[in-house]
A and B are shown apart, each in its own frame.
Chain A
Amino acid sequence: MDIRLLRPSDIPLIQHANLENLPENYFLKYYLYHALSWPQLSYVAVDVSRPKKTPYDYPKIVGYVLAKMEEEPTDGVQHGHITSLSVMRTHRRLGIAEKLMRQSQQAMVETFNAQYVSLHVRVSNVAALHLYRDTLGFQTEKTEAKYYADGEDAYCMKLDLGFIKDQIEEEADGEAKDEGEAVGDVGSDPAEKKKRDAAEKEKKRKVKVGRGLGVGELVERVETKKE
């Protein structure tokens, strides 16, 4: 097993793993969108021991975490989000999912100054709940009724990443002190945050399926706005 950063060339087999493992599927372009927007955040587990069948075999993906930063956080706080995570059944319970998640969380803080990471999980998903709650320390924020396309509810879970930030600062303190704050803190004005939180509560989120439109729409919209 090899746990490493996702590369664009991994994407077809990541998409394949996703289609094998989960009912929430995405176009290839949506994976590209992650890989090209936040290339530091998504990780794969690769079975490096497989003998090659052809000279063109790609590394066999047995697990992946696809992660992003929330682009317009409704609470104004920079945070990461887990779009998808799965491990092939033949490779489960080896600790792969945990390790993928930890790598991603680390990078969320380092590169994008994430304060926390959020995700959705089916209320019936015992394995995933054990991983998130017991192994990684996520807390259930709320239950979203009928979040999934088939009508199942989701737990919306969160993990405060402050502990990673503390670690990094500790390490930095160990070395020589340098010029001030490492990363700009976006939207951390507490008063501002309160307002946003209130607004967020008012808004009732619609049922969403974990399936993106692809960036085409996004890109064009932003482009035309700029012109």
Chain B
Amino acid sequence: MPQPLSSRDQTLFRTVIKNYEDKHYKKGLKACEQILKKNPKHGDTTAMKGLILNAQGQTEEAFALAKEALQYDMKSHICWHVYGILYRTNKNFEEAIKAYKFALKLEPESQQIARDLATLQIQTRDYQGYIQSRAAMLKARPSVRQSWTALAVAHHLAGELQEAEHILTTYENSLKNPPLKSDFENSEAVLYKNQIIAERGDIERALEHLETAGKDALDRLAVMELRAQYNKKLGKKEEATKAYRALLDRNPEHPDYYTDLIEVLGLSDEAERKALYDEYATKYPRSDAAKRLPLDFLTGDAFRQAAKSYLVSMLSKGVPSVFANLKHLYKDESKKETLPALVEEYIQELKSSGDVNGDSSKGEGAALYFLAQHYNYHLSRDLAKAMEYADKAIALDPKNVEFAMTKARIYKHQGDTQKAAEAMDAARQLDTRDRYINTKAAKYQLRNDNNEKALELLGMFTRAETPGGPLADLLDMQCIWFLTEDGESHARQGHVGLALKRFHAIYNIFDIWQEDQFDFHTFSLRKGQIRAYVDMIRWEDKVRDHPLYSRPALAAIKVYLDMYDASQSTNGVNGTSGDANGADAQEAKKAAKKAKKEAQKAEKEAAEKAAKQDPNAAKKEEVPGKKKDEDPNGLKLAATEDPLGEATKFLVPLLQFSPKLIDAQIAGFEVYLRRKKYVLALKCLNEALALDENHPALHAQAIQLRHALNSDMKDLDPKVQEALKETFTAVPASADLKQLNAEFLKKHGNSAQHRIAAARAAVTLGEDRSKAEKDLVDALNIKDTTFEDAAALLEQLKKWKSGEVASFKQAAHEKWPEVTVFA
């Protein structure tokens, strides 16, 4: 039975709540103790104590207290509410929702509990639950516009457009006086309603609504854009033309406006279209788009002329970004030839006119720089020429950062990561105040596996006062590019722990990004910016489809697969040599030991350094509320017993959100095959084949799967067998796999990537490994083999601990002396 409190203690209890809300935790705890002294079994106070401890990071104690509180007072909504909040803050949303529902049953009038429940429901995308909650909240507070908007949003997100519109209209009809034009919330609500009408497909009504209710909305751009789009869709040529012209006057730098206007006007003729752009180029001389966009569609002489005048004006001004602005035209062969020819012409004309410019980054310098980039670009690459032009440009203007940067990029394309890093650092030193060039210099250090130097450079721009130095600041600031590059670099160097550490950090950042939406479920309703909120929700739904996620996720999976393979190598499965006889495992252990030692050393050094610099350093480390990282070097991650399970954690979002990414499907196959999840492996294989049936890796995978099934099929559930039989058509069950592989090799023997696939398949099938290795070594002699291919060959040989590694490296080094990985 709950204990009733004396009136004095009741007052005290209210201060506890206030203290908690104001984050005065110490005071709050003290007050709790005071109450509990007299009423040791007071449920609500016990619960509040737990809540405060939770806020202080003492999760376990908090949960223990919350449970105790419920034992004292099962019927208290406060106890249940607190219980829910604990689950919520510890990310167990399902349990939190349950607890909130209990609390709400006990106290149906509580707006706060209702709101907490609703927020969680939308966070977990329980649309129907959210609709129910919002409907109840509307009933309780029908006079507030927010209540109506919220319910409309709930229906809208659930796809119930008609209902959503109806709710908004009902509110509008209840208003006695029309809202002021300056009423921002109203202005947004009207545009939101307009969006819903358009989403329902009723463009005619949407236009009418826009021109009446929406005509004075404060978001002018939205009104103008919608007006243009609706009129265009409805075929109202005159109105649409007027609307697009108004938009172009506002922003002549938005290509869609031009293309839409051209469509409305029905201009198909090249000259007519050019004339329209010219009109705007004259009207807005500072507009880049009007001058540049015609280059996309013009051809022949007209292109030549337009390109020439564009190039001349940009080069004379010394705009460094001309090439970046034009290189997309290189898809067209004739444009690819015309552009550099025009630039050469420009240089000749400058020379013959004797017009030597005062500023060397302009005119000739800019032109030489263009040509250096031209020969450095993958569609027109000739690195020797690129270097020649870069050197000429630098000779004209030795202090020019862009010119110097280009040289570094050329070295990078040559595979000379060492010189590239040096050259980028030289460029950096020309402008030490610009973070962009600093970032590039650091990135090039990472590509050259000089992690320490990279961090040192980055430290010039990170906040000095962040405890933990540049790395901690970059982590704090969610600097994904650095974590990715640093992780990939550590992976290349075999620093498994540190590599995994970085990749997991990125995984966690995406968790944070997903949680970030939480506060906005209520915030946005208050702000009234509903359209932006709905946009945000739709983006958050697929936040992990971002390449910022997929790239490190794929890298992490690769690390885990290698880890798993190394641990299996004693059994000689998965393509690793059987006769190594535990050598791999031993070596892996050795490597782990070495890594541990190094890590410990590094840690000690870092600690000593910190201690020397600042006597208060130790204290500074303890930022309240921030937990100390118990595994800064990822040793625990590297010691995992379940690399495939960990890989799956990275894999699942990849397959869910980026199913059209072939590398994701390929990685998925590798994970699931090793886990003997054959149905899932086959699904990945089939998806990948649908994306690109000629991808060499898929040949090896199909053979591997058939080979595995040949031995394991009989042990599988009959239903699974049936499914596999039906959907695995790439390699028939009756196929002679060795012969199939031999044919593949014969057909594609002059491609290094195909040779790798065939070699993998051969080893899987138990064929002579030395022959497979020979095929790889020999691939070096294929005419088309690039140094990148050679690096892949080398990696495969290394993975097999082949005796050919050293001689291969030597041969590759002779062929590409500048490439750092073979040095």
Contacts and interface: CB of A to CB of B under 8 A. Distances in A.
Interface of A: 1-5, 7-9, 12-13, 15-16, 19-23, 25-29, 32, 35-40, 47-51, 53-58, 88-95, 98-99, 103, 106-107, 110-113, 124, 149-150, 178-179, 181-184, 209, 214-216, 218-220, 222-224, 227
Interface centre among A2, A9, A184 (most CB of B within 10 A): A9
Interface stretch (B75-83, B459-467, B493-501, B764-772): B459-467
A219 B519 contact: yes
Contacts of B286: 95, 98
B435 A20 contact: yes
B24 interface: no
Nearest to A152: B433
Interface in B463-521: 463-465, 477-481, 512-513, 516-517, 519-520
Contacts of A28: 478, 512-513, 516
A25 B478 CA distance: 9
A107 B477 CA distance: 29
B526 interface: yes
B251 interface: yes
B757 to A, nearest CB: 22
Interface in B426-450: 433-437, 439
Given A4-B254, A36-B533, A110-B220, A184 B180 contact: yes
- Top 9 A-B pairs, shortest CB-CB distance: A49-B328, A184-B182, A39-B532, A3-B253, A9-B539, A89-B436, A8-B536, A25-B477, A29-B516
B321 A107 contact: no
Contacts of B256: 2
18 contacts: A1-B292, A7-B535, A13-B548, A20-B436, A27-B478, A27-B516, A32-B536, A37-B529, A49-B325, A89-B402, A91-B321, A91-B325, A99-B251, A103-B251, A106-B250, A149-B463, A219-B523, A227-B112
A113 B531 CA distance: 20
A95 B550 CA distance: 33
A121 to B, nearest CB: 13
Contacts of B539: 7-9
Contacts of B550: 54, 56
Contacts of B532: 8, 35-36, 39
Given A39-B529, A218-B523, 17 more contacts: A9-B535, A9-B539, A15-B478, A25-B479, A27-B478, A32-B517, A36-B523, A39-B531, A54-B661, A56-B658, A57-B547, A89-B401, A90-B324, A94-B288, A94-B321, A99-B251, A227-B112
Contacts of A224: 21
Nearest to A38: B529
A94 B291 CA distance: 12
Contacts of B567: none
A89 B434 contact: yes
A222 B526 contact: yes
B221 A107 contact: yes
Contacts of B255: 2, 48
A223 B477 contact: no
B527 interface: yes
A67 B634 CA distance: 39
Given A19-B477, A35-B536, A94-B288, A110 B218 contact: yes
A36 B520 contact: yes
Nearest to B21: A224
Interface of B: 21, 111-112, 180-182, 216, 218-222, 250-251, 253-256, 286, 288-289, 292, 317-321, 324-325, 327-328, 331, 401-402, 433-437, 439, 461-465, 477-481, 512-513, 516-517, 519-520, 522-524, 526-527, 529, 531-533, 535-536, 539-540, 545-548, 550, 657-658, 660-661
Contacts of B327: 49
A90 B406 CA distance: 11
A222 B785 CA distance: 63
Contacts of A49: 325, 327-328
B465 A92 contact: no
A214 B520 CA distance: 11
Nearest to A48: B255
A7 B523 CA distance: 18
A19 B251 contact: no
A178 B180 CA distance: 13
Contact of B321 (A32, A90, A112): A90
A103 B533 CA distance: 22
B477 A215 contact: no
B790 to A, nearest CB: 23
Contacts of B436: 20-21, 88-89
Contacts of A48: 255
Contacts of B479: 19, 25
A179 B178 CA distance: 13
A88 to B, nearest CB: 7
Contacts of B463: 23, 149, 209
Given A19-B481, A32-B517, A93-B319, A2 B547 contact: no
B512 A22 contact: no
Contacts of A90: 320-321, 324
B517 A124 contact: no
Contacts of A216: 519
B477 A47 contact: no
Contact of A56 (B21, B288, B661): B661
Contacts of B292: 1
Contacts of A8: 532, 535-536, 539-540
B473 to A, nearest CB: 8
Given A39-B529, A219-B522, A1 B325 contact: yes
Contacts of A110: 218-221
B187 to A, nearest CB: 8
B464 A149 contact: yes
Given A36-B520, A94-B288, A3 B251 contact: yes
A90 B517 CA distance: 33
A215 B520 CA distance: 8
Nearest to A181: B182
